[in-house]
Structure 1
Amino acid sequence: MLGPETIRTPVGPDPQRPVTRPERPDLTRPIQGNIDRILIEKGARRLTVYQKGDLVREYRIALGFAPDGDKVKQGDGKTPEGVFKVDRRNDRSKFHLSLGIDYPQADDRKRARDGGYSPGGDIFIHGQPNQIAEGYRVKGDWTEGCIAIDNHQIEELFAATRIGTEVEIRP
């Protein structure tokens, strides 16, 4: 309860001080050095790149032709979910350039073995099909479970990504 001697102080920002928003990083500066993490958010169709914990790039992505849910078996058109590592780099890809991830993992292989099917594999972050003219992009979710970005984007990502880089794929 407030008494007569209570001093009231304004709540909120000081009116004498300008309010500023946190600055968004400059996502147009070239990436210098290696990145340490790639975050893929399937629902948002976004791939976010981090270097030393800082956001350095965001790309719009395409996914497998049946994007909802986690990958279960070969041919299901789904993109796997979980935490992976880049385990190979392909500069002779059918999709400009590509970065492979270590799917399937042990639990995926066990589930598939127990279910009597193949878990699939060869999941990559890659560019556009080589037969498409430069500057064009396939519309919609069209891959067989991979993550696709533009060719100039995969060039930038390929140059900054090393074997062992973490890749997290969220629903």
Structure 2
Amino acid sequence: MRFRHFAYVSLMALALAGCNDALETTQIDLSQVKNKVEQPLPPRILTEMAAKSMDRNSPILIRIFKEEGQLEIWKAKTDNRYDKIAGYKICAWSGRLGPKVKQGDRQAPEGFYNLTKANLNPNSKYYLAINTGFPNKYDAVNGRTGTDLMIHGACSSSGCYSMTDEQVLEIYAFARDAFQGGQTGVQLQAFPFRMTAENMFKHRTSENIDFWKMLKVGYDNFEVTKRPPEVNVCEKKYVFNQQSAGAFNPGGKCPEMSAPPALTAALASYDKTYDIAYAKASKQFDGMAWYDPSEAERKAVVAKSRKGRELAYAPTGTSLEAGRMMKVADLEGMTAAKTATTVAANTAAGSAPADASATVKAADAAIVNPASVPVPTPSPISPTATALVPVEQPQSVELAAKKPFWKFWDRN
């Protein structure tokens, strides 16, 4: 009898341990969904919530990793620390690794965004959508432009993070339940990749490396505390978990600020481990760097999956599937060749391209002919939802108990 009980407990533990992986693909019959806006989370997720001491309406956090093609939902437990509750494979994201800079560049945003209930779009023609809040204060003060950048269904992207309809149904439900529980701001963390020492070394030659190092500070704060960092902007840069009596002015000088001693000590310990791992990566990949594939190259990898689907279905594949490590000299030569091709294309046209998307297409043509790649449909937002989405969102994320972040940090 005791053996049977032990076997049952072991089986249940194994099932729960595999839940996060199982959520990579959802199994929902959309034809049976009567009200997509109020569709409850499936029993398997509720079961794991209970196992992890999470309330159905507790706060959530969304993390996106472009290179790996992953969107994760993290949820607060009873101790106010967050744990991963669901993971989804992103069906399509456009552009390459790197932040969105201007309207028309087809880039999906990278950075820290605050989502309110107004960011939910139940009327999206792409099933359901959540506005990312781009441009935020950092984007705006740095002159970055773009609108209506979403997390939505339909698996078709033009600057958005596009999921399948089944996936976005669950993601939307997570956000809806959290807002119903009193959360006023859901933090969205959008990264180019998991910011490990190995990945940072592999991407050290990228023109975006300084921007990514800044994002990594926020990434590290979350890794150490398992709580959304408090985000502010001053001197046109992000700052994380900083206490200050003065105000944070995005374009002005940063006020005198400091981090809680306990957090500073924890980050110092984290950095020591990181430095050791970075040194190891530098030896392992000496003289090598990562080649970031174009959108066209990523689409080519998953082209077979489009057979039998509607034209609008346009998965992009992941950078890990289409990218590769290269000798730095070869990578620099390839980059120079692409730049020359872009300049030649612009010169042949007689003038600069009308927008950044023309430059992106010309650059991609140097490696893969995108003529056979279907053009994604426009970024989704219904006319009725436009007024619901705020132009700019505040950066601070309000936690459920409405305490300053350092109070949470001091609590064990």
Q: TM-score, normalised by structure 1?
A: 0.69
Residues 29-108 of structure 1 mapped to structure 2, 5 A cutoff: 29-31=44-46, 32-52=56-76, 53-87=82-116, 88-108=119-139
Checking the alignment, whether the CA contact within 8 Å between 2:66 and 2:191 is kept in structure 1 is yes
Checking the alignment, whether the CA contact within 8 Å between 2:91 and 2:164 is kept in structure 1 is no
Write the distance in 2 (CA, Å) between the matches of 1:170 and 1:149. 17
Residues 1-171 of structure 1 mapped to structure 2, 5 A cutoff: 24=17, 26-27=19-20, 29-31=44-46, 32-52=56-76, 53-87=82-116, 88-112=119-143, 119-128=145-154, 138=155, 142-161=156-175, 162=179, 164-171=185-192
In the alignment of these two chains, the number of paired residues is 133
State the Cα distance separating 1:25 from its structure 2 match: 5.3
| Unaligned runs of at least 5 residues, structure 2 | 1-13, 24-43, 47-55, 77-81, 193-412
Q: 4+ residue runs of structure 1 moved beyond 6 angstroms?
A: none
SS for the counterpart of 2:172 is helix
Write the distance in 2 (CA, Å) between the matches of 1:165 and 1:148. 19
| Unaligned runs of at least 5 residues, structure 1 | 1-20, 113-117, 129-137
Write the distance in 2 (CA, Å) between the matches of 1:26 and 1:63. 23
Checking the alignment, whether the CA contact within 8 Å between 1:25 and 1:55 is kept in structure 2 is no
Checking the alignment, whether the CA contact within 8 Å between 2:115 and 2:132 is kept in structure 1 is yes
Checking the alignment, whether the CA contact within 8 Å between 1:62 and 1:148 is kept in structure 2 is yes
- Residue identity opposite 1:143 in structure 2: S
Alpha-carbon spacing, 1:144–1:34, altered in 2? closer, same or farther (3 Å): farther
Higher helix share: 2
**Which deviates more, 145-154 or 56-65?**
56-65
Alpha-carbon spacing, 1:150–1:35, altered in 2? closer, same or farther (3 Å): farther
Higher strand share: 1
